[in-house]
Structure 1
Amino acid sequence: MSDEVEPGFVRVRFDLGYDGTGFSGWARQPSGLRTVQGEIEDALKTVTRSGVMFPLTVAGRTDAGVHARGQVATADLPEAVWAEHREKLLKRLAGRLPRDVRIWSAAEAPSGFNARFAAVWRRYAYRVTDRPGGVDPLLRGHVLWHDWPLDVDAMNAAAAGLVGEHDFAAYCKKREGATTIRTLQELSLVRGDDGIVTATVRADAFCHNMVRSLIGALLFVGDGHRPVEWPAKVLAAGVRDSSVHVAKAHGLTLEEVGYPADELLAARSKEARNVRTLPGAGCC
């Protein structure tokens, strides 16, 4: 999606959430598997009675089984369609969409807004419990059960060595032509009174499987199978490590996406499209 809207169209921002349990990820798939994008695009086509599909651009393409509370997406709608439906669009979508995906707001986006490239950070939460009895049955679809006691202090010490701008190739599933350089802005864990350990993971962007791989490494530290220094050593090696397990998807939720002030949106989108290298690294 271009940063500029074509004449005669309005860019609409949707803020939404979904339970990822029944979805094969965000992105529509040619195989016909159920996806969040597919459900919303189909619902938009139906409630606007337009007869055409309005493609969505999303802030973060979540994997199968991953949830979202603060996802952001946009679609460019014809001005006449937006004018006709804007007042009742939310209610009509609520009546058409399945109950495991909800749209909280639909509003005209500011000039230069691109849900993906204008974002300055994405914040995820990963929830896990080590309670001997397992997970509360009402939370089983959103909390991982780890059957070893976890030392949260050790996990936080290990996490500190991962924060900053790095090449996260060791924690990503490589995609052709895509950089694995990211700025990890926050990685911290807190145990609640209910025994659930919540990891907050915030970065300018994430590569494929990055969050769940980081959590997988920290779980090995927390249960004593690896020393505190191990995750940072894996990072420094710069290659995918088979000993790093990808934590299960259902513990992960996209909580929030951050954007700059309206006047900075276009500049941010342009910056995000640049292929990054680490300081001192050669090009190409």
Structure 2
Amino acid sequence: MASSVFRHAPPKACAMIESLRGLGYTTATALADIIDNSIAACADRLDITFIWLGTGSIISILDNGNGMTERELDKGMRLGEINPLETRKNNDLGRFGLGLKTASFSQCRRLTVASRKSGEMNCLRWDLDVIATSKDDGWYLLEGAHEESEKLLFPLNGYDTGSLVLWEVLDRIITPGFAEQDFLDLIDRVEQHLAMVFHRLLEGNNSSRLKIYINNKPVNPWNPFLIGHPAKSWSSPEVVFPSVDGVVMECHVLPHKDKLTESEFQSAAGPEGWTAQQGFYVLDITI
């Protein structure tokens, strides 16, 4: 049998990354993807910081998770490093090894990740402008933070282990006409989204619950089911699917507007309003 004839055909770095930037993230969903990584790293505290500097504005996400060694960070910063067919840990919320990068690229042109583990700091960054201007179209993963950004990594020094994700050159957020008030409105939308997506992990008073802060303000959980409200008279019993192990379904009917105060009605509507918030919610994931 004749040997196969083939050509080595790697994708162009600039073209590939610019294509990946259009996967449909909002700022809120992109941040939620980053938080998934922190949760998988056993973090129980996250500090998200929005810094308004006009076109030089910055967003950072700091966690107190397990951190990464140099080798682990290198692997985590490469695109498509993880095969989705591989067996994964139960607490691994990723699948394709793309989430951190594609979520970040959807919002910014410079992604820096620093991590502390085993007594040492490791830092790598992607800079899409460097890739765009390279003559040989290489996949250049850069060592360390940009020289003007090193001071932004200082908060990580307060942790024995943890990671900091830094978004700079926010070209998909700070677009022409985008003003400081728009930035403040964006922070509100992000807070509402995270309060909904992570409400089960944010609820309760136990020391192990997840705590998320945005500019030092705690994110309080938003429960879509009005659990415990006296006007909510009915919830379905749990329905178990015999053919699907571990899946349980409940139905919830929320009270009529007449049985809620105006503030309760507005709160229960959720970030996107009553109609958009109805539907299916995946609540219990073992992590």
Q: TM-score range by the shorter chain?
A: under 0.3
State the structure with more CA Rg.
2
Looking at both structures, which has the greater relative contact order when contacts are Cα pairs under 8 Å and sequence separation is at least 6?
1
Q: If the length of structure 1 is used for normalisation, what is the TM-score?
A: 0.22
Instruction: Report which of the two has the higher share of strand.
Output: 1
Q: If the length of structure 2 is used for normalisation, what is the TM-score?
A: 0.22
